[in-house]
C-alpha cells in the first residue's frame, strides 16, 4: 500500500491546527456542550482592492478539550447549488487565505466578476484525526453573515472572433493560475488585442509584441498588441496568452495540441483538454456532464470522433465524424480515449464510500497519486477495462487507505484470467507495460486480470521467481534455500529488499538464480559485472563476469532480465516512524526517524526505545518511496501501518535476510 502520509501532506498544509490531535476516527460529542466558532468579516469584500492575503477575525470553536481543528470559509448565494468552501489558516488571532484562491473559487463557481453580489458567509470548524481526515460528526458552523462580494478578472479584448472571414471584436476572460499570474488558454487570434480589468475598456494595457514565447512589457499607454506579422500566422490559430499584473509583463505562446472534449453540458464552443498519460492514450479530468459530447483534436473539426455509448466502463468504437456520444444521465465522468485502438471509455466518477478505484505506479503514467474509478456490474463485481499499467497497483475504496484497500494475499499474479486472492492491506500487484482489464469480486475477495483492448502479446516468458544465491547472511550457495522474489513473467522484472551480512574473512558474493524450464531441482545461474557505482547505487551488467560483489547492509534492488541489468541501492538510513514513536509521521526528507542500527553479525536491523499507542511503519532513507508495513510476521513493501497492541519500551529486530520479512518486538 502506498503510504497514508502521501495523501495527508497536501491536506495538512491547509489545516489550521490549534493543539495536538486525537487518534480516533469518530468523536462522541454532546452538541449542547460545544461552543461554535464566530466569524468577523467586512460588509463588502471587494477582492480586487484588497491585499494579497485576506484576514478574517474569529473566535475559535470550543469542544471542551484540546484538539486539532480545521477551519473553512463557506460562501453561498441564491444561485449556487452548493456553497464554496475555502480552507483557512490560523495566523495569530486571525484566519487567513490567499486572495486569488478565494477569487478563483468564486469565479469558478459562477459568481460574476466585477459585479457586487449578495452572499452569506460563515465558518465551519471540525476536528482532524491523526490521519489528517476531517471527522464529520465534529463539524460545527458559525452563524451566517450577510455580505457583498466583488470578484475581479483580467480579460483579453480584441479581434478574437470572426464573422465568416471578417475578424470581429470579442472579450475572453483569463484565469488566475497563481497570485497575479493570468492565463487565457487556447484563444483564437484574428487581429490585435489588449488586456482589460473587470471588463472596463478604460483600464486597457497594451504593448509591443516581440516574438512567440518571449516576454514583453505592457502599460496603460501601450499600443494594441499585434502578432499577425509573425511567420506562418493563420487567422484563428490558437495561442496561450499570459499576463503578470505584478510585473506588467505578458507573453504569447503556442499551446500544446491535444485531444479534448467538446459539447460538455451543451457548450460547443469551449473545449475541455485531455491529457496524454501514455503514448496514444488520452484521459479527461473528472467533469460533471450531461447530454452529449464528442472528442476532437487541436480544438478543430478536421479530426473529431463520435460514437455510440454502450455501457459504463466498457470501451466502444470511436467513429471518425461519428454521431454525438449520448451520456446516460447527469453525473461526474472521466473519458478515456485510446487513439491506438480508436476506442472510447466512459467511466462514472462519483466519489462515494462504496466505489472501488485502481491506484498505483505506472497506472496510466501516474505514481500512487491518481485514482481511476471502477464500475459495478449487475453481478456486484467491480471492473475497469483497458487500463494501462507499467508497475504495480492496488484497489481501494473511497480513496481511502485506512482499512479500505486490497492487495495480493497468499497468491501472486501469475497468468491472465486466473483469479488471485486479495486481502485488506495486502501487497502490491505487479503488471508490466500493457493494457489490462481488472475485475474485483468482493464476495470471493479475488482480483482477475485479463488482456485489454490494446494488449500486446509477448513472445518471451520469464521465470516466475528469481533467487539471490551466495555466501551472505549465513547462506552457502544453495539456490533451493536462497531468498526468493517474485519475477514478472511478461517483463522479467523483479524488485525487492534484502539485507546482507558479510561472512568472516570474505567479501559478499552472489548470483541470480532461477529454475530451468520444467525442472524443480536444476537452476540457471546468472553472473554479473559492475557497470557503474554512483553514491549508494551499484549497477551490474548481467550475463558477463563472475560473482557479483557488494558491501554489507540493506538494499532495494531491481533485477531486469529483459535488459540484463541489476541495480542495488544501499540504504542510507532505516527508520521507525508513526504516532506510536517519538517521530510521528514526518514528511519526505525530514530526518527525524528513530533510526535502527545494522548488526553486521547477522545482517539484521535493531532498535530499542519507547512506543506509545498508535501505529508505525519502517521507512528507508528518510522518504516514503520505500517503506515496509503489513504485520510483524510478514512485512511487505508499502504495507499497512502496524498497530501497537501495548505501549512500552521494546527491543526491535527487523529481519530482511529471508522471506517473509519479520519484525520482532520484545518488551523490556
pLDDT category of residue 471 using cuts at 50, 70 and 90: very high
pLDDT category of residue 638 using cuts at 50, 70 and 90: confident
**356-451 has which fold?**
Immunoglobulin-like (2.60.40)
Q: Is the pLDDT of residue 23 over 70?
A: no
Which residues in 415-547 belong to E strands, given as ranges?
420-424, 429-441, 446-451, 465-470, 484-486, 493-500, 508-515, 523-526, 528-534, 537-542
The mean of the pLDDT values for the chain is 89
Q: What does the buried/exposed string (b/e) look like for 540-576 if buried means 16 or more CB atoms within 10 Å of the residue's CB?
A: bbbeeeebbbbebbbbbbebbbeeebbbbbbbeebbb
Is the pLDDT score of 280 beyond 50? yes
Is pLDDT at 537 greater than 90 in this prediction? yes
Task: Give the C-alpha separation, 175 to 183, whole Å.
Answer: 5
- Looking at the predicted structure, is the pLDDT value of residue 107 above 50? yes
> Domain 259-348 class?
mainly beta
Q: State the average pLDDT over residues 132-136.
A: 77
Evaluate if residue 404 carries a pLDDT over 90.
no
Check whether 399 has a pLDDT greater than 80.
Answer: no
Contact 195, 155 (CB under 8 A): yes
Residue whose C-alpha is closest to residue 68's, from 419, 507, 647, 584: 584
Q: Is the pLDDT of residue 189 over 80?
A: yes
For position 227, what pLDDT does the model report? 96
Q: What angle do CA 348, 351, 352 make, to 5 degrees?
A: 115
pLDDT at 568 over 70: yes
For the chain, domain boundaries: 4-150, 154-253, 259-348, 356-451, 465-570, 574-667
Tell me the whole-structure pTM to 2 decimals.
0.51
Query: Rg of the chain over CA atoms, in angstroms?
Result: 29
| Of residues 251 and 624, more confidently modeled | 251
Range with lowest mean pLDDT among 89-103, 151-165, 445-459: 445-459
pLDDT for 244 beyond 70 = yes
Cis peptide bond prior to 660, omega within 30° of 0: yes
Whole-angstrom Cα distance, residue 229 to residue 239? 14
Question: For the range 297-302, what are the long-range contacts, defined as Cβ-Cβ under 8 Å and sequence gap of 24 or more?
Answer: 297/257, 297/258, 297/259, 297/260, 298/238, 298/257, 298/258, 299/186, 299/238, 299/260, 299/262, 299/271
Mean pLDDT confidence for 163-176: 93
113 neighbors 151 (Cβ within 8 angstroms): yes
CATH number of 4-150: 2.60.40.3640
Q: Is the pLDDT of residue 15 over 70?
A: no
Q: 24 or 115: whose pLDDT is higher?
A: 115
From CA 104, how far away is CA 153, in angstroms rounded? Answer: 9
- Place 197 in a pLDDT band, splitting at 50, 70 and 90: very high
| DSSP-derived secondary structure letter, 8 | H
Q: In this predicted model, which residue has the larger pLDDT, 85 or 135?
A: 85
Predicted pLDDT of residue 16: 38
CA 610 to chain centre: 34
From 39-43, 356-360, 614-618, the region with the lowest mean pLDDT: 356-360
More confident residue, 25 or 474: 474
Taking 80 as the threshold, does the pLDDT of residue 13 lie above it?
A: no
Answer yes or no: are the C-beta atoms of 421 and 413 closer than 8 Å: no
Query: What's residue 18's pLDDT?
Result: 36
Fold of the domain spanning 465-570 = Immunoglobulin-like (2.60.40)
CATH entry 1.10.238 includes domain 574-667? no
At residue 6, the pLDDT reads 33
Find, among 353, 343, 285, 351, the residue nearest to 314 by Cα. 343
Stronger pLDDT, 425 or 556, i.e. the higher one = 556
Counting every residue written for the chain, the total comes to: 668
What is the spatial distance between Cα 10 and Cα 66, in angstroms, rounded to a whole number?
A: 23
Is 90 exceeded by the pLDDT of residue 408? no
DSSP code, position 133 = -
pLDDT at 489: 78
State the average pLDDT over residues 279-306.
91
Spell out the CATH class of 154-253.
mainly beta
Amino acid at each position: 500500500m502506498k503510504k497514508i502520509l502521501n495523501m495527508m501532506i497536501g491536506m495538512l498544509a491547509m489545516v489550521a491546527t490549534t493543539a495536538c490531535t486525537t487518534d480516533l476516527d469518530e468523536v462522541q460529542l454532546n452538541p449542547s456542550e460545544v461552543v461554535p466558532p464566530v466569524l468577523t468579516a467586512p460588509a463588502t469584500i471587494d477582492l480586487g482592492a484588497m491585499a494579497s492575503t485576506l484576514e478574517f477575525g474569529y473566535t475559535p470553536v470550543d469542544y471542551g478539550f484540546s484538539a486539532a481543528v480545521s477551519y473553512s470559509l463557506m460562501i453561498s448565494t441564491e444561485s449556487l447549488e452548493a456553497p464554496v468552501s475555502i480552507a483557512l489558516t490560523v495566523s495569530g488571532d486571525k484566519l487567513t487565505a490567499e486572495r486569488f484562491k478565494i477569487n478563483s473559487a468564486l469565479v469558478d463557481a459562477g459568481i460574476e466578476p466585477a459585479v457586487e453580489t449578495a452572499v452569506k458567509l460563515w465558518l465551519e470548524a471540525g476536528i482532524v484525526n491523526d490521519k489528517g481526515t476531517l471527522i464529520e460528526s465534529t463539524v460545527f458552523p458559525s452563524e451566517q453573515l450577510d455580505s457583498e462580494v466583488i470578484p475581479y478578472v483580467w480579460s483579453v479584448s480584441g479581434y478574437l472572433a470572426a464573422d465568416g472571414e471578417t475578424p470581429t471584436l470579442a472579450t475572453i476572460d483569463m484565469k488566475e493560475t497563481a497570485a497575479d499570474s493570468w492565463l487565457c488558454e487556447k484563444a483564437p487570434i484574428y487581429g490585435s488585442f489588449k488586456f482589460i480589468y473587470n471588463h472596463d475598456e478604460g483600464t486597457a494595457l497594451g504593448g509591443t509584441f516581440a516574438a512567440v514565447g518571449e516576454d514583453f512589457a505592457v502599460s496603460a499607454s501601450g499600443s494594441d498588441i499585434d502578432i499577425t506579422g509573425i511567420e506562418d500566422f493563420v487567422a484563428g490559430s490558437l495561442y496561450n496568452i499570459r499576463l503578470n499584473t505584478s510585473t506588467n509583463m505578458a507573453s504569447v505562446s503556442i499551446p500544446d495540441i491535444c485531444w479534448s472534449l467538446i459539447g460538455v453540458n451543451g457548450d460547443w464552443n469551449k473545449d475541455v483538454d485531455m491529457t496524454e498519460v501514455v503514448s496514444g492514450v488520452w484521459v479527461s479530468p473528472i467533469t460533471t456532464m450531461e447530454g452529449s459530447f464528442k472528442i476532437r483534436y487541436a480544438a478543430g473539426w478536421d479530426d473529431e470522433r463520435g460514437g455510440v455509448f454502450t455501457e459504463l466502463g466498457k470501451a466502444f468504437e470511436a467513429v471518425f465524424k461519428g454521431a454525438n456520444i449520448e451520456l446516460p444521465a447527469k453525473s461526474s465522468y472521466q473519458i478515456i480515449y485510446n487513439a491506438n485502438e480508436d476506442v472510447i471509455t466512459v467511466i462514472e466518477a462519483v466519489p462515494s464510500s462504496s466505489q472501488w478505484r485502481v491506484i498505483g505506479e505506472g497506472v496510466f503514467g501516474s505514481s500512487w497519486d491518481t485514482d481511476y474509478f471502477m464500475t459495478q456490474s449487475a453481478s456486484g463485481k467491480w471492473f475497469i477495462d483497458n487500463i494501462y499499467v507499467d508497475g504495480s497497483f492496488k484497489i481501494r475504496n473511497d480513496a481511502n487507505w485506512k482499512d479500505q484497500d486490497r492487495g495480493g494475499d497468499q497468491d501472486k499474479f501469475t497468468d491472465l484470467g486466473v483469479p488471485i486472492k486479495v486481502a485488506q492491506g495486502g501487497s502490491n500487484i505487479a503488471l508490466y507495460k500493457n493494457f489490462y482489464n481488472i475485475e474485483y469480486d468482493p464476495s470471493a475477495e479475488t482480483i482477475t486480470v485479463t488482456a485489454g483492448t490494446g494488449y500486446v502479446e509477448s513472445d518471451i516468458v520469464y521465470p516466475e521467481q528469481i533467487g539471490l544465491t551466495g555466501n551472505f547472511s549465513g547462506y552457502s550457495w544453495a539456490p533451493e534455500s536462497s531468498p526468493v522474489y517474485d519475477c514478472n513473467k511478461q517483463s522479467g522484472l523483479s524488485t525487492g529488499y534484502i539485507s546482507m551480512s558479510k561472512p568472516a574473512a570474505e567479501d559478499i558474493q552472489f548470483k541470480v538464480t532461477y529454475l530451468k524450464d520444467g525442472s524443480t531441482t536444476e537452476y540457471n545461474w546468472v553472473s554479473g559485472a559492475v557497470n557503474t557505482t554512483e553514491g549508494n547505487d551499484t549497477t551490474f551488467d548481467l550475463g558477463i563476469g563472475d560473482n557479483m560483489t557488494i558491501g554489507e547492509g540493506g538494499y532495494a534492488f531491481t533485477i531486469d532480465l529483459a535488459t540484463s541489468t541489476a541495480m542495488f541501492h544501499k540504504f542510507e538510513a532505516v527508520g521507525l516512524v508513526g504516532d506510536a514513536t517519538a517521530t510521528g509521521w514526518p514528511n519526505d526528507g525530514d530526518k527525524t526517524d528513530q533510526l535502527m542500527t545494522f548488526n553486521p553479525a547477522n545482517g539484521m536491523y535493531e532498535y530499542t526505545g519507547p512506543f506509545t499507542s498508535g501505529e508505525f511503519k519502517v521507512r528507508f532513507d528518510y522518504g516514503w518511496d520505500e517503506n515496509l508495513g503489513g504485520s510483524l510476521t510478514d512485512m511487505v513493501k508499502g504495507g499497512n501501518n502496524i498497530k501497537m497492541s501495548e505501549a512500552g519500551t521494546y527491543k526491535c529486530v527487523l529481519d530482511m535476510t529471508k522471506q517473509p520479512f519479520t519484525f520482532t518486538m520484545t518488551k523490556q
